[in-house]
Structure 1
Amino acid sequence: MLDSSGPGEDRRPTTEGDPKTMKLVLDCDPGVDDAVAVMLALASPEVELLGLSTVFGNAPVDVTTRNARTLLRAGGRPDLPVAKGAHGPLVGRFGGGVPFIHGKDGLGDGNVARASEDDRPPDLSAVELLRREVLAAPGEVTLLAVGPLTNIALFARVHPEAARQVARVVVMGGNALSPGNITPGAEANIHNDPEAADIVMGFDWPVAMVGLDVTDGIVLGPAHLDAIGSGGTPAHDLLARAVPLYRQFYKDFNDIDGVAAHDPAALALLLVPDLFDTEDWPIRVELSGIGRGKTWPQTRRRPTPPPGWEGRPPVQVATGARSEAVADFIADRIAKARFGT
């Protein structure tokens, strides 16, 4: 269906009265798998995407902010706000991204279609977007964080009363029971800002952690990628162009013909929760030494928490998944989407 709205008109789908619709702010560092997650959100009728907030991570924040606009435009929703967030972690410095995985442009150096509007200044800051959207619908907004958790931690610190009105925070990051992927101890998003992650895991709001325990096994294989890339819309074309470098990385370093669906898997937990196994464990994040960035769950039942875990709230930790079914769901949902065309 062609969009007939004029300039400046709100093109959000009408969702009032639909109890299945989830209001969602996606905090991201696009990033190829972030691109897949954004398109999955746009393809999902259960989701009312309120906007994107950006953070450093897969690339510098100026790059990820530009990419956020590119993704929304390709996905048929250039009207949605893009909010620029943190350029580095709460402590220390940002290392500059991973161009050998996501490309210098963050989208696989695949010559994705750009437009002048992609370089518009951000609409507002990430923290202010989070505050605005949560206060506009107290108790209804889910925050899906698929990059370093700096923006989310700053929101909790600067506006704690507003943050307590978040419905849920879902984090792609961490490794409760599995090895890390940036060091033997730590997953990349958490390792990029461990202090922020420890704040988020300990704040007074419901948190779910979808980490390497499940995302390493949720692989979009050749058939999935072919379907995603051949849907015939600008969004599908963007994904087809962005994925090859990411796919080559997995072939060279993991001997996998396909890509791990890290970020879209976190959204899948919200959309198809029956395909995941979870446990409720308090989490602390290691802040020093060679284990910096490790997410430590308190798994043993005991009369009193061990030192350091006192007063920590339970985190819903994804521990298993029907991996092929999740990958099929992600690919099928995106492949069939029309993205505003």
Structure 2
Amino acid sequence: MTTPEPRLLILDTDPGVDDAMAILLAANSPEVRLLGLTTVYGNVPTALATANALRLLEMAGLEQDVVVAQGAARSLKAGTDMERIADFVHGADGFGDISLPPPKGAAADCSAAEFIVRACRQHPGRVTILALAPLTNIAQALMLDPQLGEKWESLVILGGAFFVNGNVNPAAEANIFGDPDAADLVLGSTSNLRILGLDVTTQCKMSGQEIEELKGRGRYGTFVRDISQFYLGFHREWHDIDAIYLHDPTAMVAVLWPELFTWQRGAVRVATDGVTRGHTVMDASPKGFHGDHGWAAPRPRVEVALGIDSSAVVTLIRERLTAA
């Protein structure tokens, strides 16, 4: 019996403590082969996200094999406003202020959007993209190639709060809030995507004690333990829990084992202004709606994660992060 070839994977990312977990989980997963890390603002500014992506690849011994392509520094309609950077969650360096040395490598000479388009054209139907940050790079890639959704194998998006409150305000989750115009564009571009948000990721947690127990385990356990201390402090103060949410590594598990999630198909729109800016609204109804409204034009029905086997997901995350 032949072993199936690994799936080709691009991570669009803003590392970030939990992004680092997702990237290292991917590096420790033989089911996938990393093609590239594309970077964008969010947890940290884009240039720092690029440096952190390079650091993680060097840590994993993949710096010669995986491309880092720097992406957008601002949202599609940024104007003169500064982007929201979550340094109060992840620390000023994105890694809990543990003061890592600068990376040795450098980013590629193409943009993130150009790299995504090129990779999907070179490997038609074989590339999975996991988007862990605001969707600006993905939207820009679709602007370069509007048929891109037919060329990737799958796009998996971490974002949204469908039937729960958001985490930047009651309406919105951080990645979608970071560029709601890009999110609405991407979610209206193709039915060939999945999205999972706070409805499922907040069910996946690692306690302070479990984080401490990572120390000395496997290749990455001590690093993950160290970078998580600042992140844990944020959760203790703002969420009143002695644990961290495993948002990004949960999304990585959705790439590897989608059967651990319950998916429902429906059209999704994103509010782009007002007090609900960044809110994800799902229409799973089989009926149409009368009148003039934002749902009148046909929208592709995408898969939204509304259920999860959280125990199995957390176990898999812990096992992969502490594997030799």
User: What TM-score do you get using the length of structure 1 for normalisation?
Assistant: 0.88
8 Å CA contact retained: 2:208, 2:232: no
Unaligned runs of 5+ in 1: 1-16
Shift of 1:161: 3.2
1:32 to 17, 28, 34: 17
Q: Which residue of 2 aligns with 1:10?
A: none
Residue identity matched to 2:89: I
CA root-mean-square deviation: 1.8
1:55 to 36, 40, 56: 40
Q: Which residue of 2 aligns with 1:333?
A: 320
Give CA-to-partner distance per residue, 1:270-328, whole Å, 9 cap, x none: 21222211100100000111000000001323145873233111111000111122111
Cα distance in 1 for residues equivalent to 2:264 and 2:148: 27
Cα distance in 2 for residues equivalent to 1:121 and 1:44: 24
Residue identity matched to 2:17: V
8 Å CA contact retained: 1:89, 1:192: yes
1:196 is aligned to 2:187:
no
Cα distance in 2 for residues equivalent to 1:183 and 1:312: 26
Q: How many pairs align?
A: 318
Q: Secondary structure at the match of 2:275?
A: coil
Give CA-to-partner distance per residue, 1:122-180, whole Å, 9 cap, x none: 44210121012111110110110000000000000112234431111100000111111
Residue identity matched to 2:254: L
1:104 is aligned to 2:92:
yes
Residue identity matched to 1:236: G
Q: Which residue of 1 aligns with 2:83?
A: 95
1:317 is aligned to 2:304:
yes
Q: Which residue of 2 aligns with 1:4?
A: none
For the structure 1 residues 183 and 86, does the alpha-carbon distance in structure 2 shift closer, same or farther, using more than 3 Å as the test? same
Q: Which residue of 1 aligns with 2:287?
A: 302
Shift of 1:232: 4.7
Q: Which residue of 1 aligns with 2:204?
A: 218
Q: How does 1:156-167 map to 2 (within 5 A)?
A: 156-167=142-153
Residue identity matched to 2:24: M
Q: Which residue of 1 aligns with 2:166?
A: 180
**Higher mean displacement: 322-331 or 44-53:** 322-331
Q: Secondary structure at the match of 1:45?
A: coil
8 Å CA contact retained: 1:224, 1:328: no
Cα distance in 2 for residues equivalent to 1:176 and 1:267: 20
Q: Which residue of 2 aligns with 1:82?
A: 68
For the structure 1 residues 116 and 303, does the alpha-carbon distance in structure 2 shift closer, same or farther, using more than 3 Å as the test? closer
1:261 is aligned to 2:249:
no
Residue identity matched to 1:315: V
